[in-house]
């Protein structure tokens, strides 16, 4: 068993999950404080104070009539961190551990991420505290619609634009669009109030793969700078949902081999490399990895993280790479698909061990870049095709990667701190301009 950083800093499914979430706001605050202390960052004093807490923390308790005839009360959150650069923007999560501090942290990261990518959005995040796996599709439809109705006063295509996150998908965004529009009083359907929608609901054709594509672009840029030929390289992946599965399928086309993968049900390994397309079919059908191979070839979570490989991609929950995990990782680079997967103590260990980290604020920002295009298209009553979207995404990711990388090398700071520097400076300059 890996030793704990703190009682709450390890993953034993469910029992410590809530405790782990209590650390998340501390994690972003420690990153923020570290960034504020960087030599030469020179920020406007007022912006430091403004960013230290979210603007709005909204909690709604809303009733939903379920298929079995009973009525249940659900607790939903929407945190609006900052809208200096544009409307609040960020995902909606369906998970049994959704928690106010978690939403506050995730909303803050969205402020940083949008600023880093120079997208005219601020930061928001929300969710409903329940396990979507316990409910039928019909119940999920009603829960989604009622949540959007409960939130309608606080959101809108020029106010706050939610998107999918863990436990939600394009279908859920579509239902929320219809729920919102049924009470908003708009004369025509406002599609721009949510992104990550299906094509039939004015979504963008490349949105579901965008976060994975952004991750893969970062890996390619990292490889270029380190003179690494990616063909034949190995990686392990935690999480095989939207982000994880798209990342895996794109990495396959570059010739990388997935030798370990895990989700909430199991961890499995295959030194010869998994067939990622078969894995994807299995998870689409069964909603988890369990049963893909016989239980005898399963590995433990600890064995998974000890796997010798070139790249590790956490693409599930936050706080997965703790100090004790960081000590045993056997890779060259960690690419943060998930938000906040690495604790502060783990970050320090990885730095000491010369394992580079491509941080969440950069690595998983492809989703919000394409969400921006989707929103823009909705506003202009047009569509952007796959080719245009992907080339726009690629250019933005490569340019930002270069800026972050150059700042990191010139100042001998981590990629994470370089990302914060660029994002905070943009926010600070904007604040000065308008005041
Ligand atoms: P998803 O719901 O599609 O998939 C989540 C995956 O994590 C699933 O494979 C699930 O089994 C796994 N998982 C859940 N609990 C786990 C546990 N205790 N241990 C191991 N695995 C577990 O969610 P997603 O949209 O792929 O999001 C994954 C991460 O990426 C989240 O941190 C999310 O905030 C972040 N992210 C998502 C997007 C997006 O566009 N969807 C964009 C940026 C960041």
Tokens of 308: 């010798």
| 234-238 sheet: strands from edge to edge | 298-299, 267-269, 257-262, 234-238, 311-314, 333-335, 356-358
Question: What pLDDT, in 10s, does the model give residues 26-42?
Answer: 999 999 999 999 998 88
Please tell me the residue having the least CA distance from ligand 1 atom 36: 338
Tokens, residue 324: 């004790």
Dihedral (C-alpha) 291, 296, 297, 303: value to the nearest 10 degrees? Answer: 110
How far is the C-alpha of 352 from the C-alpha of 215, rounded, in Å? 24
53-81 pLDDT per residue, tens:
999 999 999 999 999 999 999 999 999 99
The predicted structure's pLDDT at residue 368: 98
The tens digit of pLDDT for each residue in 388-397 reads 999 999 999 9
- The dihedral through the CA atoms of 348, 100, 421, 52 has a sign that is negative
- Residues comprising the chain, all counted: 435
The confidence score (pLDDT) of residue 325 equals 97
User: Reduced to 3 states, what is the DSSP secondary structure of residue 57?
Assistant: strand
pLDDT digits (tens, 9 = 90+) for 308-324: 999 999 999 999 999 99
Average pLDDT, the chain: 94
Question: Could you report the per-residue pLDDT of 408-435, keeping only the tens digit for each?
Answer: 999 999 999 999 999 999 999 999 999 8
Which among 203, 316, 336 is the best mutation to test ligand 1's pocket, defined by most ligand atoms within 8 Å of the CB? 316
For ligand 1, residues with CB inside 6 Å are 13, 164-167, 211, 238-244, 262-264, 288, 315-317, 337-339, 364, 367
User: Per-residue pLDDT tens for 250-284?
Assistant: 999 999 999 999 999 999 999 999 999 999 999 99
Ligand 1 mean position, distance from CA 230 (Å) = 25
Average pLDDT (123-128) is 98
Per the DSSP assignment, residues forming a β-bridge with 126 are: 78, 92
Distance 232 CA to ligand 1 centre (A): 26
DSSP state of 264: S
Q: Is the pLDDT of residue 10 over 90?
A: no
Pick from 242, 313, 321 the residue to mutate for probing ligand 1's pocket: most ligand atoms within 8 Å of its CB.
242
Q: 316 C-alpha vs ligand 1 centroid, how far in Å?
A: 4
Kindly give the number of the ligand 1 atom that is closest to the alpha carbon of 339.
32
Reported confidence tier of residue 186, pLDDT bands at 50, 70, 90: confident
Please answer whether residues 114 and 81 qualify as being in contact, where contact means their C-beta atoms are separated by less than 8 angstroms.
no
> How far, in Å, CA of 161 to CA of 135, rounded?
25
Ligand 1 center–CA 241 separation, angstroms: 6
Q: How far is CA 412 from the centre of its chain?
A: 27
The token pair at 166 is 């863990």
CA distance 174 to 156: 14
Helix (H) or strand (E) holding 74: strand 71-82
Question: What local confidence, expressed as pLDDT, does residue 297 receive?
Answer: 82
Give the pLDDT mean for 355-383: 98
Which candidate in 89, 104, 125, 145 is catalytic?
A: 125
Is 125 an active-site residue? Answer: yes
pTM of the model: 0.94
Nearest partner of 367 among 169, 206, 170, 161, judged by Cα? 206
The answer, yes or no, to whether residue 359 has pLDDT greater than 70, is yes
Give 300 Cα–ligand 1 centroid separation in angstroms.
19
Ligand 1, atom 29: nearest CA belongs to which residue? 338
* Pure H helices in 13-153: 17-22, 24-36, 45-51, 100-116, 137-151
The per-residue pLDDT for 403 is 98
> Which runs of consecutive H residues, i.e. helices, occur in 185-300?
207-225, 242-253, 276-286
The per-residue pLDDT for 14 is 39
pLDDT score, position 42 = 86
Best probe residue, ligand 1, of 105, 110, 243, 245 (max atoms within 8 Å of C-beta):
243
Q: Which atom of ligand 1 approaches the CA of 208 most closely?
A: 40
CA 205 – CA 197 distance, rounded (Å) = 9
Q: Whose CA is nearest to atom 23 of ligand 1?
A: 166
Residue 355 has pLDDT above 80, yes or no: yes
Which atom of ligand 1 is closest in space to residue 360's alpha carbon?
44
CA 340 to centroid of ligand 1, rounded, Å: 12
CA distance linking residue 343 with residue 366, whole number of Å: 23
Q: Work out which ligand 1 atom sits closest to the CA atom of 340.
A: 32
- Which residue matches tokens 């863990």? 166
């Amino acid at each position: 068993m890996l030793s704990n950083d703190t009682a709450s800093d390890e993953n034993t499914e469910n029992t410590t999950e809530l405790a782990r979430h209590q650390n998340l706001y501390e994690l972003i605050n420690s990153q923020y404080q570290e960034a504020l202390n960087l030599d030469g960052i020179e920020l406007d004093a007022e912006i430091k104070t403004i960013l230290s807490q979210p603007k709005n923390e909204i909690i709604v308790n809303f009733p939903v009539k379920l298929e079995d005839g009973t009525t249940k009360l659900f607790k939903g959150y929407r945190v609006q961190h900052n809208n200096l650069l544009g409307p609040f923007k960020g995902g909606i999560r369906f998970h049994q551990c959704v928690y106010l501090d978690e939403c506050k942290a995730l909303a803050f990261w969205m402020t940083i991420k949008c600023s880093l990518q120079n997208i005219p959005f601020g930061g928001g995040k929300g969710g409903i505290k329940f396990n979507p796996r316990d409910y039928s599709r019909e119940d999920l439809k009603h829960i989604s619609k009622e949540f959007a109705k409960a939130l309608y006063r606080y959101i809108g295509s020029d106010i706050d634009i939610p998107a999918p996150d863990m436990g939600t998908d394009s279908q859920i965004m579509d239902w929320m669009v219809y729920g919102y529009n049924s009470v908003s009083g708009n004369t025509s359907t406002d599609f721009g109030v949510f992104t990550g929608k299906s094509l039939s609901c004015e979504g963008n054709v490349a949105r579901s793969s965008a976060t994975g594509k952004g991750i893969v672009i970062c890996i390619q840029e990292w490889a270029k700078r380190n003179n690494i030929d990616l063909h034949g390289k190995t990686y392990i992946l935690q999480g095989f949902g939207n982000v994880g599965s798209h990342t895996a399928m794109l990495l396959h086309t570059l010739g990388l081999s997935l030798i370990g993968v895990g989700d909430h049900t199991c961890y499995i390994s295959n030194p010869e490399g998994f067939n990622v397309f078969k894995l994807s079919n299995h998870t689409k059908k069964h909603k988890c990895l369990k049963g893909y191979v016989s239980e005898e070839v399963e590995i433990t979570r600890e064995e998974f993280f000890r796997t010798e490989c070139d790249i590790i991609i956490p693409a599930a929950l936050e706080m997965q790479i703790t100090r004790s995990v960081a000590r045993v990782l056997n890779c060259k680079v960690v690419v943060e698909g998930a938000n906040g997967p690495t604790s502060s103590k783990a970050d320090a260990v990885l730095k000491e061990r010369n394992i580079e980290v491509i941080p969440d604020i950069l690595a998983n920002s492809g989703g919000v870049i394409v969400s921006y295009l989707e929103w823009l298209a909705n506003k202009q009553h047009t569509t952007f095709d796959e080719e245009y979207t992907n080339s726009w995404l690629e250019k933005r990711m490569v340019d930002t990667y270069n800026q972050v990388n150059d700042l990191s090398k010139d100042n001998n700071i981590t990629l994470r701190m370089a990302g914060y520097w660029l994002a905070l400076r943009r926010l600070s300059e904007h604040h000065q301009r308008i005041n």
